[in-house]
Each structure stands twice: as structure tokens, then as C-alpha cells.
Amino acid sequence: MPIDQPKHQTVKTNMIEWMLLFGAGACAIGLAGCAALSSSAGKMDKDAFGVTPDGQSVDLYTLRNAKGAEATIMTYGGTVTSLKVPDRNGTIGDVVLGYDHLGGYITNSPFFGCLVGRYGNRIAKGRFTLDGTTYTLATNNPPNNLHGGPVGFDKRVWKVVKADVGPHGPRLELAYLSKDGEEGFPGNLEVTAAYTLTDDNALRVDYTARTDKATVCNLTQHSYFNLAGKGDILGHIVWIDADTFTPVDSTLIPTGELRPVDGTPFDFRKPTPVGLRINNDDEQLKFGTGYDHNWVINKPMGKLGLMARVMEPTSGRVMEVWSTEPGVQFYTGNSLDGSITGKDGRVYQRRNGLCFEPQHYPDSPNHPQFPSAELDPGQTYKNTIIYKFSTQ
């Protein structure tokens, strides 16, 4: 079923703007040379977190708002290593999976909390054609390319451009230059990722990117959430504002169809426990070994809107997912298998976390009927993702 939607939101920019944003004058400011910053809107701390095998120092920045919520961001992979928000009794708890140490993220991480790119999700057989040229990528999720390749944005050390506490709360801005040909993708891609912890307990992530050559770009955030802080996520109650989803083949590549959710286990238009239908005798669930699919969100592309809501009954925590993207990948941690010991010695078992990854649809470069993920010189890619927390 073809759909008529534009490319991702783009704006023209002139050379002066380009130089101001990405030129030699750009430098780390704010916390880069300080131990901490604070104001009535919150505060921010910086701590060393280790060194990568190739000798790059990695730091943690902890953003705290005036209400006591905390978000800790690592410069390795732009990773959210901790996100602490209150339950209905006011008790602060960490709601994301991860490690207490850098080594785990480097050697054995299923994309815990990271910034995913250059292309989030899968590209079929690691190939796509753009302007008549075919590009070949690594097939790190055989037979497909996954999340930008074996050394994607999640495995790069990002530069701190700015760290400060503004009127909307503490804000950390990271930047990375993905060079032409990196992981097989064309074009020098200048990327920024700004993290803000707002006073209404929302973690906002603003992505921007620019290129000097036609390329594809699809950035997203890959935190594994557990609003109870422990156990599985089968009792989490999920609502997704989507009438259709993109069914996949046995390798999790979209078939090109937009299939109605009506009458299927993929209908979350009414709040539904994750575990209610996850083990149904359904081909799509078997392909994903649970939910690992893209939902087509009912809103205009490029407009910031509410995509999904999750409520965990025992803690009373509620998470809303907002974005400007056309789709969201809902993944239920099906590949967690007890082999990872994470924070506080917790062993992560199957379905101990769920992900909501706002994005373009998987394999969009090979499906011209999908919203285009192409980014051309003179355009700016923009994607805003907000995870907003409350209680009931």
C-alpha cells in the first residue's frame, strides 16, 4: 500500500550557519572545564568513566532537575546509562537497563541506551542505491545491516560541545563527524545530539545532521525501559497511536506492506498489557520472537506528537513517548537471555526491558513508497524524541 509522505523535516541553511555550528570555532564549553554547574532549574555533574581500548577518555554527565529526577549520559555512544524518576510514592528509581562499568558497553551491549546511527534499524542485505550508486554495508545482523554497522554511532566517543543549565533545565550537547565512507555510508555527516532534562521530568533528545553528499540518515534512541526497575515488562500496559504497522519477513525486513493492526496482536490502540498476546500463534510474533516491529504513527510527519504511552501498575510510573518521526520501533527485549549481568549485579533475563525507538521505517532506502530517509547537501535532518515521566 503506497503512502504519500514527504522526506524527513529539512530546512535550508547557508554557509555561515554551517560554519557557526560545525566550524573550527566550535568547542566544548560549560562543564568541560568544571566539576559541576547548578541553578534553580537544576544542576549537572561530570565524572570520569574510563578509557576505551584505543585510549579515548569517556565521561559521564549527570543531569538533575529541580524535582530530583536524574539522567546520566555517557560520551561513549551518547548513551543514557541511568534515568531516575519517582514512583507514585515519590521514591526515585532507575528505569533503564545498562552497566555500572564502561567495559560492558564496549564488549557486550545489546545497544543499551545508545544513540543509534547512521541508520537505525535494518537495511536489507546491507545494500541500498542512491542517485544511481549502490552502497554496500556490513551485514552485522546476517543477512542484514543493523543500527549502522559493527562500529556505528553507539561505539564512537562523542565530543562535548556544550554543557550548561538553562531555563528549561540542564542540557548536554554532543557532536560527532561521521566521515565519508564510514561503515560504507556516503558523505561527511556532521551530527549533534542535545539532551535536556526538563522540569516536568522529561528527557528530551534533539538530533540534527548535515551532509556534504547525498546520504541516508535515521537516528534514534535505544534505551531499554523497565518502569518497575526489576522483573519482566509483561505487565507494563502499552498504548500506541497507530492504525497500521510494517510487517516483516523472517529476517525482520519490511515486506513493504502497511498492515492494519485491527484484529491482530499488534493493536495497542487501547491500553493493553504487553504480555497479553505476545505469545500468540502469530507469524509476525514468531519472526520477531515477540514484538520487534515498526508502528506507523497517526500524525503528520515532522510534527512533534504523542506516539505511545506506557504505565507500570505496581510503581504507578507512566512514560509518554513523543517524536517528530513517522514511526516507532517497539521491541520487548526478546534477545536478553540471562547472559548479561548489569547494574547492581542484576541479571537481565528475557523481556526484562522494552524499547520505544522513534524512527523512519526499517529498510526505507529500499522502499521508495516509505517516507524517504535521504538527506541532501543544504538540508538539515531533525528528529526530536521526548520521554516524559509521570505517575498515576
17 is catalytic: no
Nearest to 383 by CA among 5, 129, 6, 9: 9
Report the residue count for the chain: 392
| Grid coordinates given for 260 | 492494519
Tell me how far apart the alpha carbons of residues 361 and 294 are, in angstroms, rounded to a whole number.
6
**Residue entry with cell 585510549:** 55
14: left (phi over 0), alpha (psi -120 to 50) or beta: beta
Written as one string, the DSSP assignment of 53-84 is TTS-EEEEEEEEETTS-EEEEETBTTEEEEEE
DSSP secondary structure code for residue 354 in this structure? B
Query: Which of the following is catalytic: 222, 293, 360, 367?
Result: 222
C-alpha cell read off for 119? 541508520
Whether 357 sits among the annotated catalytic residues: the reply is: yes
Q: Which residues contact 117 (CB under 8 A, 6 or more apart)?
A: 147, 148, 152, 153, 178, 191, 217, 218, 219, 220
Q: Report yes or no: 315 and 229 within 8 Å, Cβ to Cβ.
A: yes
Q: What angle do CA 77, 82, 84 make, to 5 degrees?
A: 150
Residue the block writes with cell 520472537:
289
Write down the catalytic residue from 182, 190, 320, 357: 357
Which residues are catalytic, by number? 222, 357
